[in-house]
Amino acid sequence: MADRFAVILAAGKGTRMKSPRAKVLHEVGGRTLLAWSVALAAELGCKRTIVVVASDAPDTTAAARKLVGPDNVVIQRQPLGTANAVDAAREALDGADGQVIVLYADTPLVPPSACEQAFAALDGGASICVLGFSATLPNRYGRLILEDDGALQAIVEAGEATPDQLQVDFCNSGVMAAPVKLMFELLREVNNQNAKNEYYLTDLVGLARRRGLRAAAARCEERDVQGVNSQIELAAAERAFQERAREAVMTNGVTMTAPETVFLSWDTKLAPGVTVEPYVVFGLGVSIESGATIKSFSHFTSAKIAQGAEVGPFTRLRPGASIGRNAHIGNFVEVKNVAVGEGAKANHLSYLGDGEVGAGSNIGAGTIFCNYDGFFKYRTVIGKNVFVGSNSALVAPITISDGAYIGAASVITEDVQPDALALARGRQSAKSGWAKGFREKQSAAKKAGKKPKGAV
Ligand code: UD1
Ligand code: CA
C-alpha cells in the first residue's frame, strides 16, 4: 500500500458560529471537530497529518499542536481559498511519497470507509478522486459534473455554474485524494480568476484532465459529510453523530427502549447485553459491562459499571465512580471517586465521594460521605458487609471495618471496629404522659384568651 498523508484545513474564520470559540474547537459527541478529523486521518493510517491553521488563531494552533505535534501544524497567512490552504502544507510534505487526502476540519463525521473509496479509486488508476453526495439542498455546494462513463469531468462552484449545472444535485463534499507529488504540482497552476477571486482546490480536477489524467468521484451519504458552519449545523452534526452512535451500540446488542432520548459520547463503551432506559446521558469516559441495567434520568461521566449492576433512576456518577458486579445504585445517589464492591447497595438519596464500599455492604438512605474540610479531601473506607443506617454522616478520613453496623442518624468521626455497632447521636428519653398535660394546658390558655410569653 502507498504511504498515506492527510492535510486538514482548519484556517477558515467560522464567523457564522457567532461564538468566541473557534469553530473547529466546538464539540460533537464530546470531541472537538478538529480532533474528529485528526482521528479520521489516524484511522486511515496516515503517516503524517498536517493541520493548516490561520495566523490569527492561537487557540486552534495550540489545539492542533497537541493533536499532531508542532512540526505538523502549518499556517496559511491569508484566507485566499482552499487551494491556497492546501498549498501551505507544501514544505511540510516536501519529499513525501504516496497519496494525500484533504479533509475539512469542519466536517467531523466522515466515515473511514468513505475515504477508503477515494483511495481505492486512486489504486484503480484515477489520478484524483473526490467524495460526492446527493444533496437535498445543493445551493452553495460545488457541483460534480460527470462524463457519460461516470468519470469526473469538472467541479463547478455554485457561483460559476450555468443554470443547467445548477440542476445537478451531485455535490462536492470537499474530501479529495491524489498522489502527493501530483497534488502539489497541480496546485502551482491554480489561479484566482473566478467569482470569489479565490484559489479553488476544486480546479485541480480540470487541471488534471488537461494533462490527460483521469478524475473520479466516489459516492457517500449526505449525513456523512455534513459540514458545520453555524450553531444550527453543529446541532445537526450532533444529531447525526448520536443517531449513528445509537445504531452502532444497538447493532452490537445493547437494548434501548427510547434510543432517541439517550445521549452518547464518542468514547462511550456499552457491552452487548446492556439495557438503557429512556433519558440517560453518557458523558466522556464511560464503560459498562454486559448485563448492567441503566435506569432513566441518569448522568454519567468517567465511570465504570460492572456486569449485572443496576443503576438509576436519577443516579449521577462522576469521575472515578466504579460500580461493582450486581451492585445497586438508586435514585438521587451521587458517586464520585468511589469503588463500590460486588453486590453492595446505595439505593436512596446519598453522596458517596472519595473512598470505597466493600462487597455486600448496605448504605442507608441519606448517608453522606463528608469528604471535604474546605481545603482537602479525605477518604471513607467501608469494609465488606457493613450496614450503614439511614441519615448517617461519615466524617472522613474514616474506616468502618467489615461487618460493622452504624446506627441511623449517627455522625461518625472515629473508626469503627469489625462487627461493632457504632452509635453517635443523642440517647432517646421519654416522659410518660407529658403530651396529654401539655395539650390540656395550652387549650385552657387559648380558651381564656391568654397567649404564652413570646407567642404572636
Ligand atoms: C468548498 C468547496 C465546494 C464544496 C464545499 C463543501 C472549494 C473551492 N469549494 O466550498 O466545492 O462543495 O466546500 O463544503 O474548495 N479554508 C481554509 N482556508 C481558506 C479557505 C477555506 O482553511 O482560505 C477551509 C475552511 O476552514 C473550511 C474548508 O477550507 O474548513 C472549506 O472552505 P469554505 O470556504 O467553507 O469552502 P466552500 O465555499 O464551502
Ligand atoms: Ca463551507
Q: Is residue 34 located within the same domain as residue 147?
A: yes
Mutate to test the pocket of ligand 1, among 82, 176, 226 (most ligand atoms within 8 A of CB): 82
Average pLDDT in the 81-109 region? 97
Is the per-residue pLDDT at 26 higher than 90?
yes
Q: What's the average model confidence in pLDDT over 68-92?
A: 97
Q: Is 106 in the pocket of ligand 1 (CB under 6 A)?
A: yes
Counting DSSP H helices and E strands in the chain, the numbers are 9, 34
Query: Is the confidence at residue 390, as pLDDT, over 90?
Result: yes
Q: Which of 225, 251, 266 is the last residue of a domain?
A: 225
Tell whether 210 and 325 lie within a shared domain.
Answer: no
Which is nearest to 304 in space by CA: 265, 261, 337, 344?
Answer: 337
Take residue 429 and report the three cell numbers written for it.
428519653
Pocket mutation for ligand 1, best pick of 104, 139, 176, 222 (most atoms within 8 Å of C-beta)? 104
Atom of ligand 1 nearest to the CA of 227: 14
- Classify residue 59: in a domain, yes or no: yes
- Do 122 and 147 fall into the same domain? yes
Q: Is 356 a domain residue?
A: yes
Predicted TM-score (pTM) of the model is: 0.92
| 85 in contact with ligand 1, CB cutoff 6 A | yes
Identified catalytic residue from 26, 299, 328, 348:
348
Query: What is each CA distance from 207 to 212, 371, 419, in whole angstroms?
Result: 9, 68, 84
In a domain, 445, yes or no: no
DSSP 416: B
> pLDDT (tens digit, 9 = 90+) per residue, 100-156?
999 999 999 999 999 999 999 999 999 999 999 999 999 889 999 999 999 999 999
Closest CA to 102 of 72, 131, 142, 137: 131
Tell me how far the alpha carbon of residue 181 lies from the centroid of ligand 1, in angstroms.
22
Q: How far is the CA of 10 from the centre of ligand 1 (A)?
A: 10
Q: Which residue among 202, 225, 248 closes a domain?
A: 225
pLDDT of 13 reads 83
What are the tens digits of pLDDT across the range 208-263? Answer: 999 999 999 999 999 899 899 999 999 999 999 999 999 999 999 999 999 999 99
Calpha distance 187→392 (Å, rounded) = 72
Atom of ligand 1 nearest to the CA of 83: 15
Is residue 281 within 8 A of residue 268, CB to CB? The reply is: no
The count of structural domains within the chain is 2
Q: Which of 226, 231, 224 is nearest to 247 (CA)?
A: 224
106: CB partners within 8 A, 6+ apart: 10, 12, 14, 23, 24, 33, 227, 228, 229
**Tens digit of pLDDT for each residue in 308-347?**
999 999 999 999 999 999 999 999 999 999 999 999 999 9
284 lines ligand 1 (CB under 6 A): no
- 183 and 67 in one domain? yes
CATH number at residue 108: 3.90.550.10
Judgement on whether residues 127 and 166 belong to the same structural domain of the protein: yes
Residue 350 φ/ψ, nearest 5 degrees: -135, 160
Q: Which helix (H) or strand (E) holds 82?
A: helix 82-87
pLDDT at 223: 87
C-beta of 172 in contact with ligand 1 (< 6 A): yes
Give the ligand with the smallest distance to the CA of 141. Answer: 1
- Please say if 348 is a catalytic residue: yes
- Residue 1: is its pLDDT beyond 90? no
Last residue of a domain, one of 225, 252, 268: 225
Number of the ligand closest to the Cα of 24 = 1
Residues 343, 196, single domain; the answer is no
CA torsion, points 190, 192, 196, 200, in degrees to nearest 10?
10
pLDDT digits 0-9 by tens, 48-62: 999 999 999 999 999
Q: Count CB atoms within 10 A of the CB of residue 165.
A: 15
pLDDT of residue 439: 98
77 backbone dihedrals φ, ψ, rounded to 5°: -60, -45
Helices marked H in 142-295: 163-166, 180-187, 203-210, 231-251
Q: Which three cell numbers stand for residue 82?
A: 482552499
- Is 427 part of a structural domain of the chain? no
Per DSSP, the three-state class of 123 is helix
Of all residues in the chain, the percent with pLDDT exceeding 90 is: 98
359 in Cβ contact with 377 (< 8 Å): no
Q: Is 102 in the pocket of ligand 1 (CB under 6 A)?
A: no
Domain membership of residue 438 (yes or no) is: no
**Is 141 a pocket residue for ligand 1 (Cβ < 6 Å)?**
yes
pLDDT at 12: 87
Ligand 1 within 6 A of 357 CB? no
Q: Is there a domain that residue 436 lies in? A: no
- Is there an atom of ligand 1 within 6 Å of 138 CB? no
Same structural domain, 178 and 241: no
**343-386 confidence digits (pLDDT tens):** 999 999 999 999 999 999 999 999 999 999 999 999 999 999 99
Q: CA 354, CA 321: separation in Å to the nearest integer?
A: 9
Residue 387 domain boundaries? 231-422
How much is the pLDDT for 415?
98
Distance CA 135, CA 256 (A): 31
pLDDT for the residue 10: 97
DSSP conformation class of 183:
H
The grid coordinates of residue 28 equal 460533537
Ligand number with the minimum distance to the CA of 64: 1
* 434 is a domain residue: no
Instruction: Report which DSSP code applies to 341.
Output: P
Mean pLDDT of all residues in 71-76: 98
Pairing type for strands 170-179 and 269-270 reads unpaired
pLDDT (average), residues 85-99: 98
DSSP annotation string for 173-197:
EEEEEEEHHHHHHHHTT----STT-
Digit-coded pLDDT (tens) for 405-451: 999 999 999 999 999 999 999 999 999 999 999 999 999 999 999 99
* Ligand 2 midpoint to CA 229 (Å): 7
CA 156 – ligand 1 centroid, Å:
13
Q: How far is the CA of 192 from the centre of ligand 1 (A)?
A: 14
Element housing 73 (H / E): strand 73-76
Residue 268 near residue 286, CB atoms below 8 Å: yes
180 CA distance to ligand 2 middle (Å): 24
106 alpha carbon, closest ligand: 1
Residue 170 and residue 257 in one domain:
no
Q: Is the minimum distance from the CB of 174 to ligand 1 under 6 angstroms?
A: yes
